[in-house]
Amino acid sequence: MKFSFFHLMPYPYLPDDFDSAYDSSALTYPNANFDPKLGAALYSRYLDELEYADTLGFDGIAVNEHHQSAYGLMPSPNIMAAALTRRTSQARIMVLGNAIGIRGNPLRVAEEIAMLDLLSGGRVDSGFVRGIGWEYFAHSVNPTRSRARFDEAHDLIIRAWTSEELFSWYGENYEYRYVNIWPRPIQTPHPPVYIPGAGSTETMKFCAAHRYTYMSVYAPTRIVRRWFDGYRQAEADLGRAPDPEKIAFSVPVYVADTDERAHAEARPALEWLYHRGLKQTPQMVTPPGYMSPGSLRGVLMSGMHGFRSSSYEDLLAAGQAVVGSPASVAARLRELYDELGGFGQLIGLFAIGPSTHEQVTRSAELFAAEVMPELRPLGVAAGASPA
Amino acid sequence: MPSDVPAEEYLELAGGRVHVLRGGSGEPVLFLHAAGGAGTWSEFHRLLADAGFDVIAPDHPGFAKSDDFPLVEAMDDLVYHYLDVLDALGLERVHLVGASFGGWIAAELAVAASHRLRSLVLMSAPGLRLPGHPVPDIFLMPPERLAETMFHGPPPAAPEGAAPGIDAVLAAYRDSTALARFCWAPYLSNPKLERRLHRIGAPTLVVAPSDDRFIPVAHARRYAELIPGARYTEVADSGHAMYVERPAEFAAVVTSFLHMPEPATSGANR
């Protein structure tokens, strides 16, 4: 099992009347509510936490991209990754990921990831995401083109990384007469790719075909199980035994010395994350054309609903957060490992909503010292030795 | 043809099938529906047909029972699409009536091929970029606010009972996806349209509801100002859901215009 410390870099200081006054923490939530001085202090604190996770022995430290939102303060994950390259030495630097569905110029992503790969000495992992619904409003990109733009940007970036000859690109969405990037990445054939999945069978097949890591987004265990099974089936359809390390389970994790203390501290943090940070209208979640008819049908039939109707207890029961003492967290993650049919990577969100720096670092310390060793042997392909 | 029960037919084009409802007899009227009006034959359609017209109401690409036509990607493609529709119908010249989104298509079609039109009627069409008179974001509106925005009076009550089934949700999502394909950005407008409107040579009526909370009436007035010789009229006590909220009044305004004798200098010279 490999473990990463994932950061969303939330802006936790929502006003007291947030629940009644605003229908979302994103897109239309006025940035008058953002205090740049507090924001600067958060950046400094959050980078400290990621750097600390590197020293604790996490295999990866992860950042991601969100726009116009208190949920996550990283419009450019590559800038945060760049800051990490010079202050860390062991962990993979995971950009999970660049939202290539909404980028105007995907070649820029190829260039920036190549830069990060050099700066980090080949430690960068490159996630590609479509960008979530509200971001198609935020960046004025037509969501009906989302899938096509994502696919084409992906193909272009991979070719730009791997080609040692100048080439021209004529696509439906992008045209470049001269593709000839400097620098090229240091990892061969290119940095490992991560793709989040939320039920689309196209994504499962895509990940399997390219041997990319398929990572879950926050959803109840019974649904994530279906996604992981879909990915495993896609691997099997290609005549391969699924490699557990290519399946990554994402989940918020909070560890404290005792169960009692952990729950007391995690409850407000997780309620912030799921009820405020992720508060959005249905129109923001699913702009027109963002989902294929088949995927939308799947979501409707699965009975998934908004996070706001899930209580803290519901979230724990459904495996959408793991909280407790080190022993309880290890036991619960073993349970989830079995319920999900196995996974080889755990992408833990340790800095949850308004958690304090002391809480986050303590949680990460306990996890690294007491949970990781317990789970390390899980999720390793037969015949491979544990990392 | 009877006007209360329309004939249903499909036009076979190279890119797919176009679903068409058709009723009445007389001079042909091509009616281009609003974003929310695909696949329906409403009281307004019937009144137009009853007034002595052959009313032809196709569903736009990707809407209701028409095929997706994935290569019809943007407004310029829609114009060629409707020229294909006219050819497939075997109609050299028609009265063209467009409501809301359909009105924008009608204006663009008239700019490109005014000679195919006997006349043009724009019913509160978007399409112009008027930053001083912004159009609210239809894609971000929750359903209850959408209803309030579209109607001047109280909106019709939502049907009682269970929430819409999965197929209904998927059908609505397909219509909205088709709309977004053509108008996400630039939002419901073509910045070049204003400077092209002078090309319209067909007799034109621009009609707006008095209390339009979706497309501000300044848009209709601007169309009337820029289309040579256009007439302008408003229908009182109506919101943007024009032919749903005030079908008789809108039908009366449109049919009386269509019945006016065609001026000798009409659009045929363009």
- Could you read off the pLDDT of A335-375 as tens digits, one per residue? 999 999 999 999 999 999 999 999 999 999 999 999 999 99
Contact (Cβ atoms closer than 8 angstroms) between residue A1 and residue A344: yes
| Pairwise CB contact (< 8 Å): B184 & A301 | no
Measure CB to CB from residue A288 to each of B141, B173, B185 and give the nearest one: B173
Q: Mind spelling out the 3-state secondary structure of A328-376?
A: HHHHHHHHHHHHCCCCCEEEEECCCCCCCHHHHHHHHHHHHHHHHHHHC
- Could you read off the pLDDT of A287-345 as tens digits, one per residue? 999 998 888 888 888 777 778 789 999 999 999 999 999 999 999 999 999 999 999 99
| Pairwise CB contact (< 8 Å): A286 & B173 | yes
Given a cut of 50, is residue B265 above it in pLDDT? Answer: no
- In this predicted structure, what is the pLDDT of residue A384? 58
Quickly list DSSP for A81-96.
HHHHHTT-SSSEEEEE
Residues of B with CB below 8 A from A137's CB? 137, 139-140
CATH number of B7-269: 3.40.50.1820
Helix or strand (DSSP H, E) at A197: strand A193-197
- In this predicted structure, what is the pLDDT of residue A386? 47
- In this predicted structure, what is the pLDDT of residue A128? 97
Distances (CA, A) of A168 to A102, A150, A174, A189, A232: 22, 19, 11, 20, 36
Distances (CA, A) of A173 to A131, A143, A209, B76, B234: 17, 13, 23, 17, 42
- Could you read off the pLDDT of A190-200 as tens digits, one per residue? 999 999 988 88
Q: Is A20 exposed, middle or buried (0-12, 13-18, 19+ CB in 10 A)?
A: exposed
Cα gap A198→A219, rounded to integer Å = 8
Pairing outcome for strands A167-170 and A175-179: antiparallel
- What percentage of chain A exceeds 70 in pLDDT? 98
Contact (Cβ atoms closer than 8 angstroms) between residue A341 and residue A243: no
- In this predicted structure, what is the pLDDT of residue B1? 61
- Could you read off the pLDDT of B41-95 as tens digits, one per residue? 999 999 999 999 999 999 999 999 999 999 999 999 999 999 999 999 999 999 9
- Could you read off the pLDDT of B6-42 as tens digits, one per residue? 999 999 999 999 999 999 999 999 999 999 989 999 9
Cα gap A289→B64, rounded to integer Å = 15
Domain A2-375 indexed as CATH 3.20.20.30: yes
Q: Quick check: B142 contacting A, CB < 8 Å?
A: yes
Comparing CA positions, the residue from B51, B78, B65 lying closest to residue B21 is B65
Average pLDDT in the A271-275 region? 96
Planar angle of CA B267, B268, B270, nearest 5 degrees: 70
Q: Which of A224-233, B5-14, B152-161, B199-208 has the lowest mean pLDDT?
A: B152-161
- Could you read off the pLDDT of B134-173 as tens digits, one per residue? 999 999 999 889 999 999 999 888 767 667 789 999 999 9
Contact (Cβ atoms closer than 8 angstroms) between residue B165 and residue B79: no
The stretches of chain B forming alpha helices (DSSP H) are 43-50, 75-89, 101-113, 143-150, 166-183, 217-226, 242-245, 247-258
Token reading at A332: 């619960």
* B9: closest CA of chain A, how far (Å): 25
Average pLDDT, chain A: 95
Average pLDDT in the B124-136 region? 98
| Pairwise CB contact (< 8 Å): B180 & A300 | no
The whole-angstrom distance between residue A120's C-alpha and the CA centroid of its chain comes to 20
Residues of A with CB below 8 A from B169's CB? 296, 300
Measure CB to CB from residue B166 to each of A142, A288, A297 and give the nearest one: A297
Give every CB contact of residue B225 below 8 A, 6+ residues apart in sequence.
Answer: none
Q: Which of B184, B187, B188, B189 to mutate to test the interface with A (most CBs of A within 10 A)?
A: B184
- Could you read off the pLDDT of A31-85 as tens digits, one per residue? 999 999 999 999 999 999 999 999 999 999 999 999 999 999 999 999 999 999 9
| Pairwise CB contact (< 8 Å): B180 & A293 | no
Asked whether the whole model's pTM tops 0.80, one would answer yes
Write out the residues of chain A at the interface with chain B, using a CB-CB cutoff of 8 A.
28, 136-137, 140-144, 281-284, 286-289, 291, 293, 296-297, 300-301
B62, closest residue in chain A (CA to CA): A289
Measure CB to CB from residue A293 to each of B140, B170, B179 and give the nearest one: B170
Contact (Cβ atoms closer than 8 angstroms) between residue B81 and residue B61: yes
| Pairwise CB contact (< 8 Å): A143 & B179 | no
- In this predicted structure, what is the pLDDT of residue A383? 61
Cα gap A371→A348, rounded to integer Å = 12
For chain A, how long is the longest CA-to-CA vector? Answer: 61
| Pairwise CB contact (< 8 Å): A142 & B141 | no
- Going from N- to C-terminal start, the domains of chain B cover 7-269
- In this predicted structure, what is the pLDDT of residue A387? 46
Cα gap B251→A58, rounded to integer Å = 70
Q: Quick check: B176 contacting A, CB < 8 Å?
A: yes
Average pLDDT in the A107-116 region? 98
- In this predicted structure, what is the pLDDT of residue A129? 96
Measure CB to CB from residue A137 to each of B140, B173, B176 and give the nearest one: B140
- In this predicted structure, what is the pLDDT of residue A299? 82
A301, closest residue in chain B (CA to CA): B166
| Pairwise CB contact (< 8 Å): A293 & B166 | no
Q: Which of A114-123, A210-219, B159-168, B227-236 has the lowest mean pLDDT?
A: B159-168
- Could you read off the pLDDT of A122-159 as tens digits, one per residue? 999 999 999 999 999 999 999 999 999 999 999 999 99
Residue A346: count other Cβ atoms within 10 Å of its Cβ: 28
Residues of B with CB below 8 A from A301's CB? 166
Average pLDDT, chain B: 94
| Pairwise CB contact (< 8 Å): B170 & A296 | yes
Q: Quick check: B174 contacting A, CB < 8 Å?
A: yes
pLDDT confidence of B269, banded at 50, 70, 90? Answer: very low
- In this predicted structure, what is the pLDDT of residue A301? 84
By three-state DSSP, how is residue A2 classified?
strand
